[in-house]
Amino acid sequence: MEAANQEKIDVAEAKMKGDIGAKLREGQTLQNVAKIDLDTKIISTQRQGKGKKQEIRVKTEVKVFENLREAEVAEANAELAKRKAGWAREAQVAEVEAMKAVALRDAELQWEVEIMNGRRSLRLSS
């Protein structure tokens, strides 16, 4: 009887150790899964962060390039406006000089007409 009782005790202890071992393995499995999930999330977040940084860097480089192009266009437009203003001044000067030349030629022709009229008057009176 004592052996049968000892056997029952041994079986109960073995079952208890088996149950405890199974629960320990189940707990360790859950802990390992949680750790792997956490590590995966961390790595995923880091990769997303790197991708976002790269995207921001590219957008920044594009914006800098666009700003440089806009500055170059503005500079070219300013140079063109300056040249047009110079050309307009040159045209005005040329127009004034042409008007002077026309007025001078008119005066010369008028003087020649007066001289001819004077000569004709002299011939007529002689």
* Whole-structure pTM value: 0.48
- Least Cα distance to 93 among 105, 104, 81, 101 occurs for 101
Four-residue CA torsion sign, 20, 22, 25, 26:
negative
Tens-of-pLDDT digits for all 126 residues of the chain? 888 899 999 999 999 999 999 999 999 999 999 999 999 999 999 999 999 999 999 999 999 999 999 999 999 999 999 999 999 999 999 999 999 999 999 999 999 999 998 888 877 776
CA torsion sign for 84, 86, 90, 96 is positive
Q: What token pair was written down for 62?
A: 């594009």
